[in-house]
Amino acid sequence: MRVYLVLATREARERIPAPAFRAARRAIHEAFPVPSDVVKAVEWTAPGGRVALLGWTNEPEHELLPETVISGAAWRLGYCGYLAEPKRDVDLLLARDDLAATAAELGGVFSIFRAGTEGAEAATAMARVCPVYHAEARGLRVIGSRALLVHLVAQAARTDREDPEVDIDVEALHPLVRHGFHANDDTPFRGVHALPAGSLIRAVPGEPTVVRRQPSAPARETPRDDRGRRELVRPLAEALVASAAPLARHQDPVRLALSGGRDSRLMAAVLRSAGVAFTATTHGFADDPDVVLGTRVAQALQIEHEVELTVPQERKDFVDVQHPFSRTHDIIRMCEGMNSAYESVNRYRPYDLAPRTSGSGGETLRGGFLYDQDDISAEGLQKRVRLIFHAAERFMTSAANERAAAEHRPWAERARSDGFDVLDKLYLHYRTGRWIVGSHTATLMNTPYYHPFFDNRVVREALALSAEWRRSEYPFYLLLQELAPPLAAIPPEGKRWRFDRGRGPLFSGRRAWRARAPLTANGGTSGFNWRVSFDQNFRDLLQEQILDGPEALFDIVDRDAYTTLLRDSPGRWTKQIWHVYTLSVLLSQEWRRPPPALSPVRIPIPG
C-alpha cells in the first residue's frame, strides 16, 4: 500500500510552513494503519518550497511494484493502486500536460498524484476505488490518499500545532447512520472532501484551486438487431480481457473464489481469455448450488477447481466473537470512520506478493442499483432514489433529515427524466466510490489486489451501454458468449437471466437447498447471525455505548426514537445499530488511542 500527500501554497511568494512537514511525518503513523517500523518514506520539495510531494509505503522492493515516487523531467509522480501498462502509462503521465485527459485513457484501478515546480495535481479513476481527499487551511492546499492525514496536516496549518485535535463534522455523518458509508463526497473530518470520480484537482501557487470532472461519453443507442448488439458489447469484452493483463505478470497463479454466479463465472472467463494462470475454489456443502454450479463452470472451462466441502459440526452452545469495541476501533482506523463496524475488513499482516482478485464490481455491468430493482416504473425508480437518501429517517433528527432532503433534491430532479441513469450513477459514485474504499485499502496494505470490474477503461466502456439495457442482463450474457460461450448456457444462481421470460426454473438446486432440513447451528452457518444475537444478548452494553455516549451523536440521531428501537426491535435494525455504535466510538475519539485488551464476547447459540 502506498500513501501520498501533496502540499501547495495558495500564494506564489509563500513557502510551505515547516510545521506542515513535521505534522505530516507525525500524522502518517496514525493515518497509515500498518506498524510504523514497516513504513518507508520519500519526500520531494520543489525549488522555492511552494510545492511538495510526500509518499510512504509498506511494500517491498520488487519489479512488479512501482517506486513510491517516480522522477521525470518536469514532474514527480506517485500512484495508488495499479496501472494496466505501468511503464507506458507512467511515461505518459510524466510527459503530458493534461493529467485528466491522460488518466481517462488509462486502464487499471488507481489515483494519481504529481507535483512539479509550477504546481501539483491529483486525479481519480471512474470507479474511485482509490480515493483522493483535499482540504485547505490558511493558504495551504492539502491533497492526499488518506482523509485523516489530509485533515491532520490541514489542522496543523490552521492551529500552528504539530499534533492537532481531530475536528469531527457531526452533521456530515448522517449517511453513515443510514447506510454505513458516505453517500456523498463528505468525510467525517471537517473541511476534508473526497474528489469526485473521474476528476482532477489542480493547485498552482498564485492561482485558485481547480476541480474539473472528465465526463464520460454518453451511452450509445442500443441496436435492435442481435449482430449490432454483439458489436456494441465487443469493446467492453476487449477492455475486460485487457484489464486482467496485470495479473498475468505474476508468477504465482491467482486464486479465484468461484460460486458459479454471474460475476465469478465472468471473471473466470476473463482470466482464461487473458491467459492468466489461476485456480478456482468453491466452499460449501456437496449439494450447495454454489458447489454444483461452480463445478459445472469449471468443467466447461476445463480449469483446475478445488472444492472445499463443509461438513456439519457438533452442536455448539456458544460462539466467541471479537469484542465490539475492538472490532469498531480496528475498522475506524482502517476505513477512517467511513465504514461501519457491521462490515468485516482485513487486519494487517506482512506483505505477500501473491496476486488476488475477485468479482467485486460486477453490479456496474448490470446497472448498479438497478440490478435488484424490480419496479422500473418512473414512480418506482424515483421512490428508490428517495430511499437511498432518506433511509432510516424514522430515527434521525429533523436537522439530519433536512440535510438528506437537500442532498436528495438534485438527484430527484435528474430522476424525473432518467431514473435508470441516476440509480446507475449513484451506485458507481457512492456505493462503489465510497463503500468499497475501506475494504480495498485494508487489502492493499497486505497484498497486490486486482479488480478487473473496477478497471477504468472497463467502467467507461460499461457506461457506454445504457443503464436500462445493462439491467436486462443481456449485455452480461453477450459478454459470456463472446469470451466463453458454454458459460452462457449454465443457469445463473439457479434462476433465469432477467431478459429470459421463459417460465419455470432452469436449475432447481437453490430451491432444494432452501427446503432441506435445517443444519445444526455452529456459529459459522447462515442459520446463526452473531450480530443479531449480540444485539439481543448485550442490550445493556449497547445502551451504555450509544445512549450514554457522546452527546453530539444526538445532533443527528433522535434519542427517543432510538431508545424505542433498542427496547422493542433491535434484531430488525441490526445494521443501523452497528452503524450508530460505530459513530458513537468515532465521536468519542477513543479510536485515536491504542485499544484496551478486551476479551472476546461469548454469545449463546439458541437451542
Over residues 194-222, the pLDDT tens digits come to: 999 999 999 999 999 999 998 888 899 99
Find, among 172, 210, 213, the residue nearest to 191 by Cα: 172
d(CA 144, CA 152): 11
**Neighbour order of strands in the sheet with 133-137:** 40-45, 51-57, 2-9, 140-144, 133-137, 193-194
Cell of 42: 520519500
**According to the model, what pLDDT value does residue 522 have?**
46
Residue 202 DSSP code: E
Average pLDDT over residues 465-477: 96
Q: By the 8 A CB rule, do 393 and 503 touch?
A: no
Q: Does this model's pTM top 0.85?
A: yes
Residue 360 is predicted with a pLDDT of 86
Digit-coded pLDDT (tens) for 426-462: 999 999 999 999 888 889 999 999 999 999 999 999 9
Element (H, E) at 505: none
What average pLDDT does range 504-523 have in this prediction? Answer: 58
Query: What amino acid is encoded at 178 in this protein?
Result: R
Mean pLDDT of 357-385: 93
3-state secondary structure of 72: coil
Residue 266 confidence (pLDDT) above 80: yes
Q: What is the pLDDT of residues 408-432, one digit of tens each?
A: 999 999 999 999 999 999 999 999 9
User: What does the block give as the cell for 528?
Assistant: 446463526
CA distance 552 to 188: 13
Return the C-alpha cell found at 4: 501520498
Fill in the DSSP letter of residue 426. H
518 pLDDT more than 60: no
Q: Nearest 5 degrees, angle CA 240-CA 238-CA 301?
A: 65
Report the mean per-residue pLDDT for the chain.
Answer: 91
Q: How confident is the model at residue 516 (pLDDT cuts 50, 70, 90)?
A: low
Positive or negative torsion for Cα 326, 330, 331, 332: positive
**pLDDT tens digits, residue range 70-105?**
999 999 999 999 999 999 999 999 999 999 999 999
8 Å CB contact between 80 and 2: yes
Give 298-340 pLDDT, tens digit per residue. 999 999 999 998 877 677 778 788 888 999 999 999 999 999 9
Domains of the chain in start order, with CATH, are: 2-213 (3.60.20.10), 226-314+346-516 (3.40.50)
pLDDT over 70 at 136, yes or no: yes
Three cell numbers, residue 427:
451506485
What are the phi and psi torsion angles at 465 (to 5°)?
Answer: -100, 140
* Spatial CB neighbours of 431, under 8 Å, sequence gap ≥ 6: 181, 183, 363, 368, 369
Task: Report how far residue 104's alpha carbon sits from residue 454's, in angstroms, rounded to the nearest whole number.
Answer: 14
pLDDT band at residue 506, thresholds of 50, 70 and 90?
Answer: low
Helix 378-390 / helix 398-426 crossing angle, nearest 10 deg? 130
The CA-atom distances, in angstroms, between 165 and each of 25, 151, 160, 219 are 16, 10, 11, 46
Q: Among 553, 529, 555, 527, which Cα is nearest to 542's? A: 553
Residue that is written with C-alpha cell 490552521 in the block:
158
Count helices and strands in the chain by DSSP H and E runs: 22, 19
Per-residue pLDDT band for 106 (boundaries 50, 70, 90) equals very high
Top-confidence residue, 259 or 486: 486
* The pLDDT value given to residue 565: 77
Contacts of 48 (CB under 8 A, 6+ apart): 15, 117
Q: Is the pLDDT of residue 526 over 70?
A: no
Least confident of 65-74, 136-145, 276-285: 276-285
Predicted confidence band of residue 511 (pLDDT cuts 50, 70, 90): low
Give the DSSP H/E element, type plus range, for residue 345: none
pLDDT given at position 252: 85
CA gap 423, 395 in Å, rounded = 25
